Structure 1
């Protein structure tokens, strides 16, 4: 069985590329891994892919057309997005890709619309019974400053990779004219976890694997360790209640606050940067996706190792 996978906005995602290749070997699949980026010559993952392509920014109107062109030209079976800003574009064009024989690993627009808005994420999760930090609009914070418990956490409602986040000690710290919509959230204190989950094509939660974020760099876990505890699976089931149309790989962030307990404060509807740790611990999401695409029986399970440790370091690709 031959499968062609295209990793979108591949950048530095060498670990994800290697996970797909290892999974293909395990599943006896003849895999071709393609990659694309704005500047593939300077992308390590593109350099290590079987073939790489240059594409415009994902917010460029020509992005979808270029990806459809590549998918048709190369008979791409599966596109794997890796950054939040491209999810909306792919989700809006799922059917167009399907018509050219390409499955995009992305949830429907109803899901992406929620996870790309942190205020709406908190609202949907709370309605589904999932504990979340108290969340307010910037305007509410200004008008009701005396009723709120400061400091609060200020963040872009559609941000990612820890961009633009900071704690504010009072209303005087709020931006007058923010460049993008912002929200305020309760400042949680405690250990932080990422929970990687896999939802199969029928909508069933097949795996929830948490890791404690021991150290983070630029929004991605640099050192982490898997920890098994029932509360994380319960939270994962709550996320699925809030987003019943979600499919494939997602991850969400949890802080075990010393007072409020575990609270979910963010969802990413894609492979997280720390996925290689989950893969190492036995949660082979890449294999399960390849099995779905190739029509093989699914080997998905919640059988993974607690205590698996990841210590990242920088490596390099050399040319010339």
Structure 2
């Protein structure tokens, strides 16, 4: 019989954090879910078994405070639900694990750096001999205009660091580039791979899982549309033409657990444009269709058991907004012991 595992999910109020929760709720493993976030106004805190407010990772005493909380709440495993926590837990993984007797599911700092920086992502793919979208770091607005004209419009103007399509623009002419460039933090240009669509056509969100002994599980492949930087309609199927490039990327990168790969399928083949060395906002969708990465992480890294070959089913997922309700309180008097209700609307 497996022992109870106390799992803390950071960024529990984020889309990724909530997806991890849903996947673990769908699992049959004996898990106590501890929601962790930096403010009380996060819905998952009131739907978990237990909840805790954790420090912002940029605070001066964040490391000591985090270790104290992990010990206080007897946490066995930490799963990262916020991209803002990745660098911190990756950098201090060894110390946190040693001092708090906990397992942190996080990629090495070098991999987190590659995944968090879109320029480094493109360079990693290029240097590894893998398909990539050509990128350029402009030294000035004039330099950006020169490169865009050399490539030909449209081009993509984006920040090197960012998530959920923040600061990502398809630039179709000189005037638009002149308007957008001054407000772009850490700007980079990238060739257009293909035009994003509101239909399920050419954009994919995929995953490969690496076990504790280095074996690869998957890949999981799904076609998607995007709304507000989030996968909105997801079609899960065995898109076999993507398998080889996905496994080549996974072979080339040093990661732990989940590797999320966003790509376009073009007339020149599959071209990845984003890597995330963490759980995904579509983690719950994957779990529903048979590819439960948080469960696999616990089986492989915590219970040290082999992972059965996932039986991935095909299907369609559609996102919608949901509310949680906490009765007889107000925003200034919320207590972590409060429990929220989700209505069964339909």
How high is the TM-score relative to the length of structure 1?
0.90
SS of aligned partner of 1:228: coil
Quote the Cα distance in structure 2 between the aligned partners of 1:314 and 1:147. Answer: 43
What pairs with 1:1-320 in structure 2 (closer than 5 Å)? 1-12=3-14, 13-23=17-27, 26-27=28-29, 29=30, 31-40=31-40, 42-99=41-98, 100-139=100-139, 141-172=144-175, 173-174=177-178, 175=180, 177-178=182-183, 180-187=185-192, 188-189=194-195, 191-214=202-225, 216-243=226-253, 245-257=254-266, 259-306=267-314, 308-320=315-327
Q: Please report how far the alpha carbon of residue 57 of structure 1 lies from its aligned counterpart in structure 2 after TM superposition.
A: 2.7
How many residue pairs get aligned? The number is 311
Q: Please report how far the alpha carbon of residue 73 of structure 1 lies from its aligned counterpart in structure 2 after TM superposition.
A: 1.1
Q: Please report how far the alpha carbon of residue 251 of structure 1 lies from its aligned counterpart in structure 2 after TM superposition.
A: 0.7
Distance 1:171 1:63, change over 3 A: farther
Quote the Cα distance in structure 1 between the aligned partners of 2:286 and 2:83. Answer: 20
- Bigger radius of gyration: 2
Quote the Cα distance in structure 2 between the aligned partners of 1:46 and 1:232. Answer: 37
Structure 2, unpaired ranges of 5+: 197-201, 328-346
Q: Please report how far the alpha carbon of residue 16 of structure 1 lies from its aligned counterpart in structure 2 after TM superposition.
A: 2.3
Which sits farther off after the overlay, 150-159 or 9-18? 9-18
Quote the Cα distance in structure 1 between the aligned partners of 2:39 and 2:116. Answer: 25
Whether the 8 Å contact between 1:59 and 1:86 is mirrored in structure 2 is no
Q: Please report how far the alpha carbon of residue 69 of structure 1 lies from its aligned counterpart in structure 2 after TM superposition.
A: 1.7
SS of aligned partner of 2:285: helix
Structure 1, unpaired ranges of 5+: none
Quote the Cα distance in structure 2 between the aligned partners of 1:7 and 1:106. Answer: 12
Which sits farther off after the overlay, 170-179 or 261-270? 170-179
Whether the 8 Å contact between 2:156 and 2:171 is mirrored in structure 1 is yes
Whether the 8 Å contact between 2:283 and 2:292 is mirrored in structure 1 is no
Q: Please report how far the alpha carbon of residue 278 of structure 1 lies from its aligned counterpart in structure 2 after TM superposition.
A: 0.9
Q: Please report how far the alpha carbon of residue 177 of structure 1 lies from its aligned counterpart in structure 2 after TM superposition.
A: 4.1
Q: Please report how far the alpha carbon of residue 179 of structure 1 lies from its aligned counterpart in structure 2 after TM superposition.
A: 5.4
Whether the 8 Å contact between 2:38 and 2:56 is mirrored in structure 1 is yes
Which sits farther off after the overlay, 181-190 or 204-213? 181-190
Distance 1:305 1:141, change over 3 A: same
